[in-house]
């Protein structure tokens, strides 16, 4: 069987620290193995064919509704994370199929208008809202799979998605090195590509970037990514030789430089004045829709009304709104707020 041949190749050629498909902790609902694909290859394909993944192409990365086609969206961010992570995984001898499945799935729970929408829902919901938890919810309860609701992905993929968020503040890590690779690759990718988009928008110039970090990381977009990827591979390999339980990480010097550059982006772009007006408008729309559907639960689509009955109204409304693309969210707001003529000609 082809799958068994692939699994044997994994065991023969991957690092002893890699997660082998044949040793996966499995799925919540047991399934017959695929004759060709390993369990992680199968997970990757399920994510790619999901509606939540397709909707990422119309969800904001940083800039809301940019005029140019060249700015990143949540989908292109996901693809860049995948590229960075698979390069690191290759260098460490890890399971690239598991890395790809986690990378493609990690942001499917993101709201419209990126972290702005997340902040609104987090403030409005009693239980709070975090996009990594919502990604797990989308993958396990919202998307439709073969066995009903949920894609029935492997434990290792769900664990990697759950732990992909945060940088330097979380005390928990993914169980697998592959999941840890995604967490770091996410930061490597978005800090660099958001700088690239900000320069394209005319908000930043290369000379505006803090030189104390640029001198360490590199003077160009490609140089910074290349240096960070190389450093991660070299430092993690050395760490694992000393301690088999070591985590995927950067050298202290590179990590502090990346954190410093990331803080610069938060202060000047993500939370900066340039995007503030659009953020405020986006926050108004998301908050309006949340309040509207809480007052009018009968207006929710049938699926989300069922969730509201089973898990509470806030949960049903949040599931509906968080799944929206930016365009759908704005169009729905217009339908609910813009007066229409009641005169038929």
Q: Output the pLDDT for position 171.
A: 66
Q: Given a cut of 60, is residue 345 above it in pLDDT? A: no
Tokens 């409304």: give the residue: 317
Task: Tell how far CA 296 is from the center of its chain.
Answer: 31
Q: Cα 139 from chain centroid? A: 12
Please report the pLDDT score of residue 1 as a whole number: 87
CB of 85 closer than 8 Å to CB of 133: no
pLDDT at 109: 97
Which pLDDT value is given to residue 165? 87
pLDDT, residue 34, reads 97
Do 102 and 182 form a contact (C-beta atoms < 8 A)? yes
Mean pLDDT in residue range 142-151: 90
pLDDT score, position 63 = 74
- What DSSP assignment string belongs to 232-259? HHHHHHHHHHH-TTPPP---HHHHHHHH
Integer Cα distance of 136 and 130 in angstroms: 10
Q: 2-108+143-274 has which CATH code? A: 1.10.3210.10
- The candidate with the shortest Cα–Cα distance to 88, out of 260, 240, 232, is 232
Q: In whole numbers, what is the pLDDT of the chain averaged over residues?
A: 94
| Predicted confidence (pLDDT) per residue in 154-167, tens digit | 999 999 999 998 77
pLDDT for 168 equals: 59
Query: Tell me: the pLDDT tens digits for 274-329?
Result: 778 888 999 999 999 999 999 999 999 999 999 999 999 999 999 999 999 999 99
Which among 29, 32, 30, 46 has a CA at the least distance from the CA of 3?
Answer: 32
Q: Are 277 and 285 in contact (CB under 8 A)?
A: no
| Alpha helix (H) residue ranges in the chain | 2-13, 39-48, 51-55, 74-92, 96-105, 114-124, 131-137, 155-162, 177-200, 211-217, 221-242, 252-265, 276-295, 302-311, 313-322, 326-337
279 versus 240: the higher-pLDDT residue is: 240
Three-class SS of 131-161: HHHHHHHHHHHHCEECCEECCCCEHHHHHHH
Query: In the predicted model, is pLDDT for residue 70 greater than 90?
Result: no
pLDDT, position 67 = 65
With a threshold of 0.85, does the pTM exceed it? yes
How many alpha carbons lie under 13 Å from residue 257 in its C-beta half-sphere?
Answer: 23
Rounded to an integer, what distance in angstroms lies between the CA atom of residue 324 and that of residue 343?
31
Cα→Cα distances 157→240, 304, 305, 319, Å: 22, 26, 29, 21
Q: Which residue has the higher pLDDT, 69 or 93?
A: 93
Task: Decide if pLDDT at 188 tops 70.
Answer: yes
Query: Residue 271: is its pLDDT beyond 90?
Result: no
Q: Where is average pLDDT lowest: 81-85, 101-105, 150-154, 265-269?
A: 265-269
Average pLDDT in the 53-60 region? 95
Q: What is the pLDDT of residue 278?
A: 83
| Residue with token string 């493609």 | 104
How far is Cα 271 from Cα 68, in angstroms, rounded to an integer?
22
């Amino acid at each position: 069987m082809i799958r068994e041949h692939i699994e044997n190749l994994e065991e023969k050629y991957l690092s002893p620290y890699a997660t082998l498909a044949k040793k996966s902790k499995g799925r919540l609902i047991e399934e017959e193995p695929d004759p060709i694909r390993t369990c992680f290859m199968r997970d990757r394909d399920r994510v790619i064919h999901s509606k939540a993944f397709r909707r990422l192409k119309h969800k904001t990365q940083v800039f809301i509704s940019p005029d140019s086609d060249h700015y990143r969206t949540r989908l292109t961010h996901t693809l860049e994370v995948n590229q960075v992570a698979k390069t690191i995984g290759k260098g460490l001898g890890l399971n690239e199929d598991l890395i790809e499945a986690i990378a493609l799935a990690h942001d499917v729970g993101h709201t419209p208008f990126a972290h702005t929408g997340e902040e609104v829902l987090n403030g409005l919901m009693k239980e709070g809202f975090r996009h990594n938890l919502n990604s797990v919810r989308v993958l396990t309860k919202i998307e439709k799979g073969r066995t009903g609701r949920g894609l029935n992905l492997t434990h290792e993929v769900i664990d990697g998605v759950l732990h992909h968020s945060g940088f330097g503040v979380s005390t928990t890590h993914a169980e697998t090195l592959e999941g840890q690779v995604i967490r770091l690759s996410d930061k490597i990718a978005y800090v660099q590509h958001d700088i690239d988009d900000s320069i394209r928008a005319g908000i930043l110039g290369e000379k505006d970037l803090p030189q104390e970090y640029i001198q360490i990381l590199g003077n160009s977009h490609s140089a910074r990514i290349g240096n960070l990827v190389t450093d991660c591979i070299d430092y993690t390999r050395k760490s694992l030789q000393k301690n088999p339980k070591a985590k995927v990480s950067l050298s202290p010097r590179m990590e502090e430089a990346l954190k410093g550059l990331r803080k610069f982006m938060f202060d000047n772009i993500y939370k900066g004045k340039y995007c503030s007006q659009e953020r405020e408008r986006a926050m108004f729309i998301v908050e309006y829709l949340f309040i509207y559907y809480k007052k009018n639960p009968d207006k929710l689509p049938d699926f989300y009304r069922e969730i509201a009955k089973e898990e509470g109204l806030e949960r049903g409304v949040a599931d509906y709104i968080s799944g929206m693309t930016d365009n759908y969210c704005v169009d729905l707001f217009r339908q609910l707020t813009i007066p229409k003529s009641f005169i038929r000609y």
